[in-house]
Amino acid sequence: MKTDVLAGRERRSRFDPAPYVLVSPALLLIVLCLIIPIFSAVQISMTDASLLKFSQAKWVGVNNYTNFFTSGTFEKVISATLIYVFGSVVLTYVVGMAAALLIEHTERFKFLFRSLVILPWAVPQVVLVLLWKWMINPQYGVLTYLSDVSGMLPSHFSWLSDYRFAMVAILMTTIWKQYPLSFLMLMAGMKGIPKELYEAASIDGANAWRKFAHITLPGLRHVTYGLILLLTIWSFGNFIIVWLMTQGGPSDSTAVLTVYTYLNAFKFNNLGYGAAIGVVCLLLSLLFSALYYRVFIKKMETE
């Protein structure tokens, strides 16, 4: 008996390099593609580097951050970013939930409808933006025509030239791209809710709204926590849709942090200032993720 215990302790104390060897390629990739670029961006943000004179960059400390926080465009950029993130996350969740409920209660051609619903997810973002810019074109866009006929907007209204509607157009494009992810995750979560709960609620006389509020939503809370976190991180880092739609205009009304970073670093040739804005965007995303994890994910783990 004592011999077996000693042998077990010896096996546990013996170093096994196999797990570390298997994990090392992934760790190396993370270091090369994530950790080093982040430290490099922080270093560049502390200089007055420019693309044309990168080797002559001088150390300026936190001046780039101070200039950004005290600039006249700071509030506008932060407001545009928060509006875009909040609007895209909330509306994507709502549209995905509506689509999931409709498909879940559809009896015939369910496979066909599921395929059509997730189709936008397969469309490349560049093609997606071109489609939406065609639909809202002031001259021949189908949405422009419908709004003109209904009298909702003036004739030949230019969505992307109006600071009030430019963000609306971007949000519509973003939601159409993102909602299939919300649909798939919520649809999968609904499959895990026992049917017996709905049957018991029907016997008790509960209507559709009470079933949704007291069975469906609580049953999807774990899926909802993870989905909102994914959508928020993706929205904070989204660049392609906003850039191709408006390039931050008009008058920086749609200049979210990612677009403003690109404008300063590569269009205005101020790489150090652009890097500082990019670091601020990263810190905001990490801060939200940390708070969200502490409030919701930890609560989910303790349930």
pLDDT at position 299: 63
The predicted pLDDT at position 12 comes to 58
- 19, 63, 173, 182, 243 from 128: Cα distances, Å: 43, 39, 7, 18, 13
Q: What is residue 88's predicted lDDT score, i.e. its pLDDT?
A: 94
Domains of the chain: 72-302 (1.10.3720.10)
Q: pLDDT below 50 — which residues of the chain?
A: none
Helical (H) or strand (E) element with 146: helix 142-150
What is the structure's pLDDT at 199?
Answer: 85
Percent of the chain's residues with pLDDT above 90: 32
Residues, the chain, total? 303
Confidence (pLDDT) at 18: 83
- Provide the angle, in degrees to the nearest 10, between the axes of the packed helices 221-237 and 271-292: 170
* Alpha-carbon span 165 to 262, nearest angstrom: 23
Asked if 160 contacts 244 with a C-beta cutoff of 8 angstroms, the reply is no
Helix axis angle, 125-135 to 166-191, nearest 10°? 130
> Residue 274 CB: number of other CB atoms within 10 A?
27
Instruction: Please give the Cα distance from 142 to 139 (Å, whole number).
Output: 9
| Cα 106 to Cα 186: distance, rounded to the nearest angstrom | 16
Sign of CA dihedral 86, 88, 93, 95: positive
Residue 175, helix vs strand vs coil: helix
Dihedral, CA atoms, 274, 48, 250, 139, nearest 10 degrees?
Answer: -80
List CB contacts of 289: < 8 A, sequence separation 6 or more.
229, 232, 233
Q: What is the pLDDT of residue 90?
A: 94
Q: What is the pLDDT of residue 89?
A: 94
- pTM for the full model? 0.85
pLDDT at 8: 52
